[in-house]
Amino acid sequence: MRIHKAGTWPILIILLMVLFILVIINIFFPVQTIVHYILYIIGVVFILLVIRFFRYPERDVIKDDQKIYSAADGTIVAIEEVEETEYFNDKRIQISVFMPLLNVHVNWYPVGGIVKYIRHYPGVHHPAYVPKASMENEMTSIIVEDYNKRLIMIRQIAGIMARRIVCNAKVNTGVSQGDELGIIKFGSRVDLFLPVNVDIKIKMHQKVRAGETVIAEF
């Protein structure tokens, strides 16, 4: 287990902030009491939670052109046929994975192929698990064309606490199934928009893991 590079500065800043607050408390209230020890414990736990948020686990992805893996760790909150109007302008199967605060927040490519399209949208920050988050929240959309010319959309969506989407995708760049796509900081969601003829392999409220759980098969 390692720490994602996007977490270096947030972890350092939060560590310095916690230390600064504790120093100020000790300057004004130098006599150690039970309250001091409780605050020390809270500070340590908070720092450990932030470090845990940016953990970057190794995933041994078994590559398979017919399988579409989950792009994120979390819980399935939507499986529905929708009219996708940003790029495809036709019917697609939308599958949404909500990533609670304690989940791994790194995202991985669910298929291999060529990145054909990227677009970032500024927006609001509704809770990521609500349906309107897919339309109104800050988001980044990525289209990947797999090796059989099939197109899927991956949409990174910021949540109520998320304030930055990190996306490593570059147009016309080849990617492998299981490569890192990016990370969404502090609570978020990933939507997949798939062809309507895929065979869905998951169900609502199921827990999934990126690069391990098969979302659907072509």
The domain that holds 152 is classified in CATH as: 2.70.70.10
Q: Mean of the per-residue pLDDT values for the chain?
A: 89
Question: Is 77 a domain residue?
Answer: yes
Residue 186 has pLDDT above 70, yes or no: no
pLDDT of residue 6: 82
Question: Is 80 a domain residue?
Answer: yes
| Tokens standing for residue 145 | 């064309």
pLDDT of residue 10: 85
Q: What is the pLDDT of residues 164-181, one digit of tens each?
A: 788 999 999 999 999 999
Tell me the whole-structure pTM to 2 decimals: 0.84
Annotated catalytic sites, by residue?
A: 188
Residue 126 has pLDDT above 80, yes or no: no
Q: Domain check: are 186 and 88 in the same one?
A: yes
Q: Domain check: are 29 and 106 in the same one?
A: no
Using pLDDT thresholds of 50, 70 and 90, give the confidence band for residue 189: confident
For 47, the 3-state DSSP assignment is helix
Diameter over CA atoms, the chain: 69
Q: Domain check: are 84 and 126 in the same one?
A: yes
Question: Is 73 a domain residue?
Answer: yes
Question: Is 61 a domain residue?
Answer: no
Q: Domain check: are 200 and 93 in the same one?
A: yes
Domain count, the chain: 2
Q: What's the domain range around 170?
A: 67-217
Residue 92 has pLDDT above 70, yes or no: yes
pLDDT of residue 171: 96
Q: How many CB atoms lie within 10 A of CB 117?
A: 16
pLDDT of residue 163: 58
Q: Domain check: are 97 and 162 in the same one?
A: yes
Q: Domain check: are 80 and 26 in the same one?
A: no
Of the listed ranges 80-89, 99-108, 125-134, 150-159, the one predicted with least confidence: 125-134
Provide mean pLDDT across the span 122-135: 61
CA distances from 71 to 43, 146, 156 (A): 32, 15, 10
pLDDT of residue 187: 63
pLDDT of residue 59: 85
Q: What is the pLDDT of residues 41-85, one digit of tens each?
A: 999 999 998 888 888 888 888 999 999 999 999 999 999 999 999
Q: Domain check: are 72 and 38 in the same one?
A: no
| Tokens standing for residue 122 | 């500024």
Question: Is 62 a domain residue?
Answer: no
Residue closest to 174 by CA, chosen among 146, 210, 195, 140: 146
